[in-house]
């Protein structure tokens, strides 16, 4: 969609940080869901907000959307209170469920959204095309697939031409081509100045499309930076090798190997540890290992390392 002009952007206050969280705490009775998060997001950034179930992501997003108020600290969206920013159309959200009327057509749903926001009907076609559903405008919402309904939510979110777009699992139900097209559209908008915050369980999406990755654990930010910087925080490498009869117990006993993280799948083994060079030498000198490879952690491994529980158990899916 065509973003607002620079002079209009200044009038709407979008020269301020897109999101500014300062010492934000959110409690629900005795439970602290958000525990002192401070986070500043610049206009035009694409930020992945990741963490295990119960990490505090949803509570944080709810406060940015003005759906709840912090117990302590402050939340500002383009220098305004969240409720004011939402009322001005500066913020839109694409959630996983809800918000759709099954007995309306796709086009009627987007047209109703345009009326509610006082936008011209001409934006309906543009929003449908941008969301990749211009060819199903006459289809009943109840007849749409899960991926098509998620694209419809995206089209509805585009109607007010928001400066900040918040996405919760935005590509759920989409096929590979659909996910690729969706993220190309998001990156195009970001280059034009739109800010995007998204949560996803597809960590490869965060790696590929986010300018910045923020890991949240137990209501606190535990990592914040580019995907490469976050991977470096969870420093560590893994030795991968092929063996004829791998013995997991014996492999876990190799000096330097992290025994809790040894993996054996068929004739392939993965041995994370402190000194991967020494592990590789041991395999070459004392086993029949071949096809050795030493690799750095990917974003999924960094996620598990940075957000896992203190007792060594990993988190659930990053939602």
pLDDT tens-digit readout, 209-230:
999 999 999 999 999 999 888 8
User: How far out from the chain centre does Cα 264 lie?
Assistant: 30
Residue 299 and residue 231 in contact, taking contact as beta carbons nearer than 8 Å: yes
Q: Where are the beta strands (DSSP E) in 9-95?
A: 19-28, 31-41, 46-50, 72-77, 91-94
Whether residue 272 sits in one domain with residue 150: no
Name which residue leads in pLDDT, 236 or 19.
19
301, part of any domain: no
303, part of any domain: no
Domain boundary residue among 166, 198, 221? 221
309, part of any domain: no
User: To 5 degrees, how large is the angle CA 317–CA 219–CA 87?
Assistant: 95
Whether residue 271 sits in one domain with residue 142: no
Whether residue 191 sits in one domain with residue 160: yes
User: To 5 degrees, how large is the angle CA 304–CA 306–CA 307?
Assistant: 70
Tokens of 170: 């935005």
Domain boundary residue among 221, 244, 267? 221
Name the nearest CA neighbour of 72 among 29, 106, 36, 38. 36
H-run or E-run covering 123: helix 122-130
pLDDT at 309: 59
C-alpha span between 250 and 71 (Å, rounded): 52
Percent of the chain with pLDDT over 70: 89
319, part of any domain: no
Task: Report the CATH number that the domain containing residue 254 is assigned in CATH.
Answer: 3.30.70
130, part of any domain: yes
pLDDT at 234: 67
Whether residue 249 sits in one domain with residue 142: no
Whether residue 188 sits in one domain with residue 251: no
Is a pLDDT exceeding 60 seen at residue 263? yes
pLDDT tens-digit readout, 129-184:
999 999 999 999 999 998 899 999 999 999 999 999 999 888 888 888 888 888 98
Tokens of 119: 């936008």
Domain count, the chain: 2
Is a pLDDT exceeding 70 seen at residue 104? yes
Tokens of 203: 């960590």
pTM listed for this prediction: 0.74
Whether residue 169 sits in one domain with residue 267: no
User: How far out from the chain centre does Cα 311 lie?
Assistant: 26
pLDDT tens-digit readout, 55-92:
999 999 999 999 999 999 999 999 999 999 998 889 99
210, part of any domain: yes
H-run or E-run covering 154: helix 146-158
Please state the length of the chain. Answer: 319
214, part of any domain: yes
* Residues 8/91/168/297 CA torsion (nearest 10 deg): 50
- Binning pLDDT at 50, 70 and 90, where does residue 267 land? very high
Whether residue 100 sits in one domain with residue 208: yes
Whether residue 253 sits in one domain with residue 277: yes
Q: Is 150 helix (H, G, I), strand (E, B) or coil?
A: helix
Tokens of 55: 């990490």
Q: Where are the beta strands (DSSP E) in 115-251?
A: 164-168, 195-199, 212-217, 220-225, 237-242
Name the nearest CA neighbour of 170 among 199, 195, 193. 199
pLDDT at 53: 85
Whether residue 13 sits in one domain with residue 155: yes
Give the β-pairing of 72-77 and 31-41.
unpaired
Whether residue 243 sits in one domain with residue 131: no
Q: Which residues contact 254 (CB under 8 A, 6 or more apart)?
A: 271, 273, 279, 282, 283
- Binning pLDDT at 50, 70 and 90, where does residue 313 land? very low
Q: Which residues contact 218 (CB under 8 A, 6 or more apart)?
A: 35, 54, 55, 56
Task: Report the CATH number that the domain containing residue 176 is assigned in CATH.
Answer: 3.40.50.300
Whether residue 105 sits in one domain with residue 196: yes
316, part of any domain: no
**Domain span at residue 280?**
236-296
Question: What does pLDDT average to over the chain?
Answer: 87
Give the helix, strand, coil percentages of the chain, each rounded to 5: 35, 25, 35
Whether residue 119 sits in one domain with residue 268: no
Domain boundary residue among 188, 221, 254? 221
């Amino acid at each position: 969609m065509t973003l607002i002009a620079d002079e209009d952007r200044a009038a709407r206050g979008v020269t301020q940080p897109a999101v500014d969280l300062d010492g934000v705490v959110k409690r629900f009775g005795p439970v602290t869901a958000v525990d002192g998060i401070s986070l500043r997001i610049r206009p035009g950034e694409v930020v992945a907000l990741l963490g295990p179930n119960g990490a505090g992501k949803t509570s944080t997003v709810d406060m940015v959307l003005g759906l709840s108020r912090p117990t302590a600290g402050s939340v500002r969206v383009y220098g305004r209170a969240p409720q004011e920013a939402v009322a001005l159309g500066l913020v839109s959200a694409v959630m996983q469920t809800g918000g759709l009327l099954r007995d309306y057509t796709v086009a009627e749903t987007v047209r109703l959204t345009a009326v509610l926001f006082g936008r011209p009907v001409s934006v309906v076609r543009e929003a449908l095309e941008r969301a990749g559903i211009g060819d199903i405008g006459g289809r009943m919402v109840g007849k749409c697939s899960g991926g098509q309904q998620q694209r419809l939510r995206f089209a509805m979110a585009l109607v007010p031409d928001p400066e900040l777009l918040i996405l919760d699992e935005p590509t759920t139900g989409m096929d590979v081509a659909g996910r690729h097209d969706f993220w190309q559209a998001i990156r195009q908008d970001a280059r034009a100045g739109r800010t995007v915050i998204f949560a996803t369980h597809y960590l490869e999406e965060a790696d590929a499309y986010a300018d910045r990755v923020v890991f949240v654990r137990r209501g606190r930010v535990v990592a914040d930076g580019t995907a490469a910087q976050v991977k470096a925080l969870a420093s560590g490498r893994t030795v991968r090798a092929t063996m004829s009869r791998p013995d997991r117990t014996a492999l876990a006993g190799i000096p330097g190997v992290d025994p809790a993280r040894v993996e054996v799948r068929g004739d392939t083994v993965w041995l994370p540890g402190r000194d991967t060079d020494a592990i590789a030498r041991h395999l070459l000198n004392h086993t029949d290992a071949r096809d050795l490879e030493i690799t750095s952690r990917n974003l999924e491994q960094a996620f598990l390392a940075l957000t896992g529980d203190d007792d060594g158990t990993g988190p659930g899916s990053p939602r």
